[in-house]
């Protein structure tokens, strides 16, 4: 335990606090689906070798992905957190305070995507039908709604075509859920 603590103290020196903050936020970005950190980005600002960087990246990433970290309470934090130096713990807590909502949303999305199909995006078009083969002047508006749904294995599009009454029904059903 003491050797791990001294290793972390040597890797996370006080003068590299800004780089640590940048690494923390880059790891949160990666969890949220944006480009994450890379060794080449931090090679000039940290004097870590590739193996040390990989170990620190995995440690920070696993801490931030752990739902217990979102409580931001010392007693509920994972064991790895308590092995880190005090200034690193404070930087992690600060990052969690700032990015807590984004992390929570990202972790919930990933959890639900494993369990249920999830709507990840939508697209809509409004069309005005002027007539048909049965009626010369119909003048009915239709909403074409494409829901992009993702599950554990694939991504597919559900296409809906709704008139005003059907659209009102869908909206009321969605409002009842929320």
Indicate if 22 and 100 belong to the same structural domain. Answer: yes
Query: Which of 87, 114, 141 is at the close of a domain?
Result: 114
| Same domain membership, residue 149 and residue 69 | no
- Name the phi and psi angles at 27, rounded to 5: -65, -40
At residue 37, the 3 state secondary structure works out as: coil
122 and 94 assigned to the same domain? no
Residues 25 and 105 in one domain: yes
Q: pTM for this structure?
A: 0.66
Residues 109 and 23 in one domain: yes
Looking at 61, 85, 114, which one is the last position of a domain? Answer: 114
- How do residues 12-48 score in pLDDT, each as one tens digit? 776 677 888 898 999 999 999 889 888 888 887 777 7
Write the CA distances from 28 to 47, 90, 110, integer angstroms: 22, 16, 14
Give the contacts of 149 (CB within 8 A, at least 6 positions apart): 117, 118, 119, 120, 155, 156, 157, 158
Residues 81 and 24: their CA atoms lie apart, in Å, by: 13
Distance CA 137, CA 129 (A): 9
Could you tell me if 156 and 84 lie in one domain? no
Q: Which domain holds residue 143?
A: 118-177
112-138 pLDDT, tens digit per residue, is 877 888 888 999 999 987 766 666 666
Give the model confidence (pLDDT) of 133-169 as tens digits. 666 666 788 999 999 998 878 889 999 999 999 999 9
Nearest to 127 by CA among 140, 116, 112: 140
Together in a domain, 14 and 87: yes
Number of alpha helices (DSSP H) and beta strands (DSSP E) in the chain: 7, 3
- Domain boundary residue, one of 88, 114, 140: 114
Number of domains in the chain: 2
> With contact defined as beta carbons under 8 Å apart, do 157 and 124 qualify?
no
The answer to whether residues 103 and 126 belong to one domain is: no
Do 100 and 131 share a domain, yes or no? Answer: no
Q: Do residues 93 and 126 both lie within one domain?
A: no
Report the C-alpha gap between 25 and 82 in whole angstroms.
20
């Amino acid at each position: 335990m003491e050797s791990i603590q001294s290793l972390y103290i040597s890797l996370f020196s006080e003068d590299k606090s800004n780089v640590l903050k940048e690494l923390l936020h880059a790891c949160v970005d990666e969890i949220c689906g944006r480009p994450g950190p890379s060794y080449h980005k931090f090679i000039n600002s940290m004097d870590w070798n590739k193996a040390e960087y990989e170990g620190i990246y995995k440690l920070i990433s696993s801490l931030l992905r752990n739902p217990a970290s979102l409580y931001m309470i010392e007693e509920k934090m994972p064991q790895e957190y308590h092995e880190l130096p005090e200034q690193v713990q404070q930087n992690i807590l600060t990052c969690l305070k700032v990015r807590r909502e984004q992390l929570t949303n990202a972790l919930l999305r990933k959890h639900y995507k494993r369990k249920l199909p999830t709507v990840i995006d939508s697209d809509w078009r409004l069309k005005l039908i002027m007539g048909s083969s049965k009626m010369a002047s119909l003048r009915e508006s239709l909403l074409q709604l494409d829901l992009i749904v993702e599950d554990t294995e694939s991504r597919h599009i559900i296409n809906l075509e709704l008139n005003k009454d059907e659209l009102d029904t869908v909206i009321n059903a969605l409002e009842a859920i929320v």
